[in-house]
Every structure is written in structure tokens, then in C-alpha cells.
Amino acid sequence: MASDTPRLVFIKTFGCQMNVYDSGKMLAQLAHDGFEPTDEWRRADLVIVNTCSVREKPQLKVSSFLGPILQRKRDTGRPMVAVAGCVAQHDGAEFFRRYPAIDLVFGPDGVPRVRELVRAARQRRVLDDQFLEVADYPFVQDLVPSAQREVTGLVTIQKGCDNHCTYCIVPSARGVQVSRPLEQIIEEVRGLAVRGTRDFTLIGQNVNAYGAERGGRSRFAELLEAVHAIPEVWRLRFTTSHPRDMDPATIAAWSRLPRLASHLHLPVQSGSDAVLRRMGRQYTRAHYLDVVAELRRVRPEISLTTDFIIGFPGETRDDFEQSLALLEQVRFMASFSFKYSPRPGTAATRLHDREPVSAEEASDRLRVLQEVQQRIQQESNLACVGRCFEVLVEQPSRHDPNQWMGRTSCFRAVNFPAAPSMAGELVQVRITQANPHSLQGEVVA
Ligand code: 5AD
Ligand code: SF4
């Protein structure tokens, strides 16, 4: 175990935006103990691997990532190694059995206590897989230390999830839903605004159910209104939404709140009612399509993105065809599709009466769905050529230092030549070229 005082911390983040946010909050708190972030794990005194268990693939990546770090730890006694997040919550002490060189294991609820956990782990191995008391859940208010301006920012509005989708491991990794008090959310938005953030994404596992735990009524539309009232909020986004909880008040927000971004990520998972029922999604295909129609009525230019799970137990060829048909009907701007991955302890693993879909068949269906999506995406990107969009300038392009990347309100990524002084500004960009995953453009006066 490390005997010197750790100073540099490296955090590797797998998984969703909740994990990205949690990693930021860990850095923010560890800064009070003199830790500074580094992006090279070899220099770090403390390495935290923030894990994801949503599918098997990200879970497997954790092991391969840990390999060389633990080797170094065995050879040199450094760095201190912590495993955090959803896999840590599930596998707990199993990590110590598999990897004796690990110092600290804690789940998502350990994030607010990361300082004391790290301190304790300097004396002895620490496992923390407790869920915190629901009352007074200590959402972390410290802001991530940042030397540069971050034009976009995440703000958590809830933790955990009260849904019971039969494929999903999240409720058992993150516990029941707890909504963050509105004043704390506003305070965080204001704090980020002072540092130049202008594009805000409210995050949670089921944001539409904000405030609705323990039988309460959703206060999500009120929350949107309150955040939107802050002048520096040039763009307001949120994720993830549940189609069942897209209530009229939330949908109406797109007509009332002009700076609510023209984009919504609304995971559908399947286009077949039979599959949706077995997934425990609590809505029908018709309901989903009604929500889409309503959204497009109140904000015609809204772009939609979604998630699909392919090869859920018992998914027939016909069920799959219905997902394809829904894809064609809605014409999503992007869709993320995953092969069903059985997660330990979830209800779907006990759907014994259902034929599992063979791995080969699932891969085949996934490929077909992704090809259709690709075509739709290309057509919709091509339709943007020649049009002008308001773009918020975010950061230099990863591929070309002379180009900058920004996003439209509808969440399309656009690359264009720009001066660094334009960072954080809204500019008009004419689209000159469509690529499969981004657009190329030029700033117009
Ligand atoms: N198998 C495959 N995909 C899953 N997702 C969640 N759980 C599983 C699973 N067991 C997908 C869903 C969700 C996205 C974040 O991950 O599509 O919307
Ligand atoms: Fe992965 Fe879900 Fe945990 Fe996010 S909440 S890291 S998606 S398992």
C-alpha cells in the first residue's frame, strides 16, 4: 500500500454521463485534499477506475484496463488503486479476491464520501457498497476544478431509478430514485454559468420522473422552467427520458421555452408491443408514436435520437421487423443499438418460457438495423447541406487543429474554420458538406 501522500489522481471513466459526472465530482472533492488530475495513469499516485455494468462489454473492458496498472502496483507498490461505479457496487469484495492489489472498492453512493474512503484506504483495504439513506442524500455541490472554459456542462438532478425494466441492472447498481433539491440544481447551474457554460444538460436515469419518487407528482416541467429562467442558459437539454413519463406539461415545454434545445433522446428499445411488455417498459408502440407526433407538433424542427435492444429473449423475426418499421417511420437523427446482454440478477434472465435469440441471429438483426439507420442518417445529413444553423462554438476539432467543433440546437456536430475567440459564442454556420457522423460548414456573417 502507498505510504507516501498521493498527489496526482487519474480517473478512467466507463459508461454513461452519470459516470462522467460522478468522476468530475470525485475530482472536485479530492482537490480539497491536494489532488490534481493527470491524464497519464503512470504518473498518478491514485488511479480510480469508474466502471459500468450496463452490458457485458463495458464490464469486460474494466478487467483489461486494470491489468497493467495492477502489474505496476505489484512491482512498485504504487499507485493506490480504487474501483468505483456500477461494477464495483455489484462485485464488491469479489474484486479483492480477483485482484488482491486493489486498495479500495466503492459503488456510486460512495462518490460523496470519496475523500474519507481514500484516506481510510491508506491504512487498510476498504470496501464500501452501502446505499446511502434516501433522506438527505448528499449530492455533491463542489464544482469540478477547471483551468479552461467549459461551454457545455452536465448537472445531475436525481440519482437512482424506480423503474423495473426487466433487462436493466441500473436500479440494483444505483438504488432507488432520489431527486436533488431544486435550489441545489439552480445553484450548480449558476456556478457553471459564471465560468462560461452556456449549454446545460440535466442528467438522471429517468429525468421525467423528477420529484415523483414515493408516489409524488413529477415536477420536471417546473424544474425546466426554473433552469430556463437563468439568462446564461442559452441551451437546455436533458437525458435520459422515459417515454411513459413524457407528460403533456413536459411536451408543452418545447412550445413555452424557446431555449429548450430542439433535440430529445427518447429510448424506445423495441417497436414490438409484445417485446415492450416483456421488457416491462409500460408503454406501447402507439404511445411512443403519439409522443413523437406531439413533440413534432409543438417543435417541428425537433430531432430525435433513441436506443434499441436487439435480440431480447423471445424476439421473433416479426418483432424485429416492427423495430425496423418504427425506425423508418420516426427517422431518428441517430440511434444507438445494442445486442441484448443478460445481466446477472435481472428479471429478463428468468424469462424461461422464451426462446433466446441465437448470437448469430442477433448480430444479423443488429447489422440490418444499423444499415437502415446509416442510410436514414446520410439522407438527413445531406438534407442539411446549403442550410444555415445557429451553432454554439465548443472546442477545437479533434481531427484538424484549424477547425472548430460546435453543435446545433438539434445536437448535430458541425466542423468549421473559426478563430479561438469565437469559443462559447453562437454563430451562424452554413453547411457545405455532409459526412456520415458530422457536418462541415462555414461561418456566415
Ligand atoms: N442489454 C443490452 N442493452 C442494454 N441497455 C440497457 N441494458 C441492456 C442490456 N441488458 C441499453 C438500453 C439503454 C442503454 C443505455 O443501454 O438501450 O437505453
Ligand atoms: Fe453503466 Fe448504468 Fe451505471 Fe451508467 S448507471 S455507468 S449506464 S450501469
Q: What is the pLDDT of residues 69-81, one digit of tens each?
A: 999 999 999 999 9
Q: For residue 373, what are the contacts with CB-CB under 8 A and spacing of at least 6? A: 327, 332, 334, 335, 337
Low-confidence ranges of the chain (pLDDT < 70): 1-6
Domain co-membership, 97 together with 198: no
Residues 194-230 have pLDDT tens digits of 999 999 999 999 999 999 998 889 999 999 999 999 9
Distance from Cα 270 to the centre of ligand 2, integer Å: 20
Whole-number pLDDT of residue 401: 80
Q: How far apart are CA 365 and CA 310, in angstroms?
A: 7
> Is residue 231 a contact partner of residue 255, using CB atoms and an 8 Å limit?
no
In order of 14, 146, 259, 387, the CA distances from 28 in angstroms are 18, 9, 29, 41
Of the three residues 101, 134, 167, the one that is the final residue of a domain is 134
Query: Residue 247 sits in a domain of what CATH number?
Result: 3.30.750.210
Of the three residues 71, 99, 134, the one that is the final residue of a domain is 134
Domain co-membership, 128 together with 150: no
The residue whose grid cell reads 456536430 is 413
Dihedral (CA of 214, 220, 221, 222) sign: positive
Q: Is the residue at 155 inside a domain?
A: yes
Residues in the chain: 445
Distance from Cα 210 to the centre of ligand 2, integer Å: 18
Domain co-membership, 152 together with 115: no
Tell me which ligand sits closest to the C-alpha of residue 348. 1
The cell numbers describing 391, all together, are 451553432
Counting beta carbons within 10 angstroms of the beta carbon of residue 195, is it exposed (0 to 12), middle (13 to 18) or buried (19 or more)?
middle
What residue numbers bound the domain in which 76 lies?
Answer: 7-134
Q: Is the residue at 343 inside a domain?
A: no
Distance from Cα 293 to the centre of ligand 1, integer Å: 25
CA 86 to ligand 2: nearest atom = 3
Is 265 a pocket residue for ligand 2 (Cβ < 6 Å)?
no
Beta strands per DSSP E along 275-348: 303-310, 334-339
Domain co-membership, 69 together with 129: yes
Whole-number pLDDT of residue 8: 97
Residue 407 β-bridge partners:
392, 413
Whole-number pLDDT of residue 351: 86
Is 52 a pocket residue for ligand 2 (Cβ < 6 Å)?
yes
Residue nearest to atom 4 of ligand 2 (CA): 16
Domain co-membership, 156 together with 216: yes
Q: How far apart are CA 349 and CA 345, in angstroms?
A: 7
Domain co-membership, 56 together with 116: yes
The cell numbers describing 84, all together, are 468505483
- Structural domains counted in the chain: 3
Q: Is the residue at 200 inside a domain?
A: yes
CA 51 to ligand 2: nearest atom = 6
Domain co-membership, 257 together with 151: yes
Query: Residue 401 sits in a domain of what CATH number?
Result: 2.40.50.140
Q: How far apart are CA 47 and CA 81, in angstroms?
A: 5
Domain co-membership, 204 together with 226: yes
Of the three residues 75, 100, 134, the one that is the final residue of a domain is 134
Residue nearest to atom 5 of ligand 2 (CA): 170
Domain co-membership, 179 together with 202: yes
Whole-number pLDDT of residue 1: 43
